[in-house]
Structure 1
Amino acid sequence: MNKYDIIIAGAGASGVFLSYELTKLDNKAKILMLDKGAPLEKRICPIKLGKTDNCIKCEPCHIMNGYGGAGTLSDGKYNITTKFGGDLHTYIGQEKAMELMEYVDEVLCSFGGADAKLYSTGNSDLKTTALRNNLNLLDAKVRHLGTDRNVQILERICNYTKERVEMEFYATVTEVAQNPDGTFSVKTNKGEEYQCDDLVLATGRSGSKWISGICDQMHIGLEQNRVDIGVRVELPAEIFKHITDEVYESKIVYKTDKYNDMVRTFCMNPYGEVVAENTNGIVTVNGHSYADPSLRTENTNFALLVSNKLTAPFKDSNEYGESIARLSNMLGGGVLMQRFGDLVKGRRSSERRMEKCFTRPTLKATPGDLSLVLPKRQLDNIIEMIYALDKIAPGTANEDTLLYGVEVKFYNSRVEVNENLETKIKGLYALGDGSGVTHSLSQASASGVHLGRILAEKYSK
């Protein structure tokens, strides 16, 4: 059995920054990082390679898994704020959380992100315009790296840490057990077995079921979080240009008149593309954008999400989201797409109608009817939000605005941890989006830095 001081299960944002901090700071720890996905250079989606038009459910999904996690092939957007993106500040304090996110930004800039623009919504005229139309623009600083530059930065961080941190890819952790002496045994699908003194669970969004299973097994408390369900909107970039040029990522929240529900924009990608991603065998949509002008498209895309926090007796909010996504996959063979004009007129989009559409889709999806998939309440909320956005970005409610379904943001059950992000079991930690404590690249990365400093001090003695 191979013995390590620290094993990191998961190479997502929190795991990457944990490994970075342990490499940078003086300590004697022997460290292993395990991930079910591929190394960075092999993380290429077959759709991107032109080998297929639709998601073929690669296992593991290159967009969701591998070095850097789901954030690697995202558009590299780091929101420096505690207003959204998680609750790290409730564990370590507001000032500390902001300090760590600013530090993460400094590290990204030092590895090649310095040329990426830093946007701010704090003093934006858009905030006033939004409020006048019953919309709330959340305050944040946003560093947009772009998918291409994000990959380059992560490659440099990987090269910096790989001499210090052993990395094993295509390695799914199948078994975790605590030994009588307090150490941990970890087994993988490759038949390998490892032992460590400190075990860090950093599996990200795609590891939600896995980490819940570990917590159930070890009787660690879990609090169910919400699930956000909605669509990805795609429209000509000119419609949102006055917003994206000024603040880039506009987190806009709206309270609907009909149901008093909260709807929000999420993950805005100017001149970007819509992509499919595979989470636990379910195909959903997301969006990417690039720093290189030659890779940009004529469209902007963003998600519209409705928050759902279900009450007793139902407990598994993620299962609710998965069931809706499965229905979309069943009807569309993957991702469904519908013109907004067809949706409000109560008719399905067809190949014939799509041929006349002025907005050219960036993802090949099945034309269909989202009203057969999304519950009426969520759909009514989304339609109302689109009309509200049309007041600050005229053209949002055009007939040829495209809606892709479904987009689901699964929030892991929040693991019961202390201010050190340690569970009740000494030496067992839960980080990043996998812990349910964070929901963003900035906060997940900051959580890795936070624990990295704690463990570096432990192993420097």
Structure 2
Amino acid sequence: MNQMYDVIIIGCGEAGIYAGYELSLKNPSLKIGVFEQGRDIYKRSCPIVAKKVKQCINCKVCDTMCGFGGAGAFSDGKFNFTTEFGGWLTDYMDHDEVMELIHYVDDVNVAHGATTNYFSTTTPEAQALAKKALEFDLHLLQAQCKHLGTEKNLMILTNIYEDLKDKMDFHFNTAISEIKTCSEGYELVTEKGDIARCQYLIAAPGRSGAEWFANQCKNLGIKLINNQVDIGVRVELPARVFEHITDVVYESKLVYRTKQYGDSVRTFCMNPYGHVVAENVEGINTVNGHSYSDASLRSENTNFALLVSNRFTEPFDEPYRYGKHIASLSNMLAGGVLVQRFGDLVKGVRTNEHRLSQSFVKPTLTAAIPGDLSLALPKRQLDDIIEMIYALDKVAPGTANYDTLLYGAEVKFYSSRLELSHELETKLPGFFAIGDGAGTTRGLAQAGASGIKAARAVLSRIK
């Protein structure tokens, strides 16, 4: 293969999909190439989800993380209408523009089957929750939230794929080994040795491609800025403990500053009546959560992440590798995802199979191995998490119960951020960087918005 395109998009996650959607919608004559190391939406199938194996077998390309839809394809599809969290797009454009882009993405989703219902933090019930949380120094972030549901989210993405598959060249199972500049603009070399060139390049590498993309940028002389890495655990407890909160706001983003260290800890990815799942990030097993909109697919538990944000300064410049190292320690101890009862953690006792079998909370991730989180997570982050759990127990009594389950490690990797223009363009003309893997976003809404923004910039120049 030796092809020339007007635009090439690297990555088929949320950001790349919406970039391609906008380009093909507004200028159907464009020749667009999309390169994705994973498979198309119909062929993605994790062996664990398919019940072929019980534990991660480290597939060469993880179907949970890679392919059309990216890591978000098998998420529970939480779509947040806010700039308070979910990314850093307001560093490049004003609040109103970001919100316009988010609503535009939502309109596309609705046109492909998404619900029009959402949860709001402005209702009297939600405001009462926010006031109650403040009494204990917990801060409920304000945002409208749509819950698409794990199965509905996949359906929406499938409908979008059907809409796009004949409008651009999709190259699945095709990883890019190198990005080069050339006389036409940019040259991409695949792992198979094929070459594709383009005038405009939109990189949307996703979380699984973050480290690779950072290395490509270094080779191209693009300056990187340290970004944060979030380290923590996934909490699982009876759904009724949090139902007075999740029934009102669904995705409750509660932020707390610890008294011991002054660190920021937050709840993230709340999954009422959901399931804890494992995911593979470049050979490292981490943990995540899903929640279905279909009541028949729900569990009796709610799960959510507790994350401690770590932002590094010079001379340290490898937060991504730091996060991977922390996650690898739990893999080393458990051979995968590790689970421990909260009471055992506080008591300094390792959870074993016998103790776990006595727990009133039954794990939805049955492949998790009982163990001791204190041997995997740094003391500071673990102290922060324990303090946060006691704070949450005041607004949701039962959070700090002995049998509350903690899975580790949950690590959110964000690529080192690039110096970008207000159009999300790098210092190299016509080269744009978008989405979670480029360090500009960390959620479905802003990732999609970043794709629309970059596409519009390209369209304005071609026009």
Map of 2:436 onto structure 1: 433
Matched, 1:187 2:189: yes
Map of 1:127 onto structure 2: 130
Matched, 1:174 2:177: yes
Q: Deviations over 1:386-418 (max 9, x none)?
A: 010001111001111000000001111101110
Map of 1:372 onto structure 2: 375
Structure 2 unaligned residues grouped into runs of 5+: none
Contact residue 6 and residue 30 of structure 1 kept, 8 A: yes
Q: TM-score, normalised by structure 1?
A: 0.97
Q: Matched residue of 2:48: which SS?
A: coil
Map of 1:383 onto structure 2: 386
Contact residue 27 and residue 457 of structure 1 kept, 8 A: no
Q: Which amino acid aligns with 1:449?
A: I
Contact residue 271 and residue 300 of structure 1 kept, 8 A: yes
Matched, 1:230 2:204: no
Map of 2:199 onto structure 1: 197
Q: Matched residue of 2:236: which SS?
A: strand
Map of 2:418 onto structure 1: 415
Paired with 2:58 and 2:294, the residues of 1 have a C-alpha distance of 28
**Count of aligned positions:** 458
Compare 346-355 and 17-26 and name the one that shifted more: 17-26
Q: Matched residue of 1:72: which SS?
A: helix
Q: Which amino acid aligns with 1:225?
A: N
Paired with 2:401 and 2:135, the residues of 1 have a C-alpha distance of 22
Q: Matched residue of 1:70: which SS?
A: helix
Task: Give, in angstroms, the shift of residue 27 of structure 1.
Answer: 4.5
Map of 1:345 onto structure 2: 347
358, 361, 372: which one aligns with 2:360: 358
Structure 1 unaligned residues grouped into runs of 5+: none
Q: TM-score, normalised by structure 2?
A: 0.97
Contact residue 14 and residue 446 of structure 1 kept, 8 A: yes
Contact residue 184 and residue 198 of structure 2 kept, 8 A: no
Map of 1:207 onto structure 2: 209
Task: Give, in angstroms, the shift of residue 149 of structure 1.
Answer: 0.3
Q: Deviations over 1:8-51 (max 9, x none)?
A: 01001010001111122135210010100111111111111111
Q: Matched residue of 2:113: which SS?
A: helix
286, 289, 292: which one aligns with 1:290: 292
Contact residue 341 and residue 400 of structure 1 kept, 8 A: yes
Q: Which amino acid aligns with 1:342?
A: D
Q: Matched residue of 1:17: which SS?
A: helix
Matched, 1:405 2:408: yes
Q: Which amino acid aligns with 2:322?
A: Y
Matches within 5 A, 1:217-366: 217-363=219-365, 364-366=367-369
Paired with 1:258 and 1:425, the residues of 2 have a C-alpha distance of 45
Q: Matched residue of 1:119: which SS?
A: coil
Q: Which amino acid aligns with 2:376?
A: V
Map of 1:51 onto structure 2: 52
Task: Give, in angstroms, the shift of residue 437 of structure 1.
Answer: 1.2
Task: Give, in angstroms, the shift of residue 204 of structure 1.
Answer: 1.1
Contact residue 27 and residue 456 of structure 1 kept, 8 A: no
Task: Give, in angstroms, the shift of residue 182 of structure 1.
Answer: 4.5
Q: Deviations over 1:325-383 (max 9, x none)?
A: 11110000001100001111110001110111111101121100001111111111101
Map of 1:71 onto structure 2: 72
Q: Which amino acid aligns with 1:175?
A: E
Matched, 1:154 2:157: yes
Q: Which amino acid aligns with 2:48?
A: I
Paired with 1:75 and 1:285, the residues of 2 have a C-alpha distance of 14
Task: Give, in angstroms, the shift of residue 90 of structure 1.
Answer: 2.0
Contact residue 430 and residue 458 of structure 2 kept, 8 A: no
Paired with 1:324 and 1:176, the residues of 2 have a C-alpha distance of 30
Q: Matched residue of 1:118: which SS?
A: coil
Q: Which amino acid aligns with 1:151?
A: L
Contact residue 76 and residue 147 of structure 1 kept, 8 A: yes
Q: Which amino acid aligns with 2:146?
A: R
Paired with 2:304 and 2:54, the residues of 1 have a C-alpha distance of 21
Aligned-residue sequence identity (percent) comes to 53
Matched, 1:138 2:126: no
Paired with 2:169 and 2:121, the residues of 1 have a C-alpha distance of 40
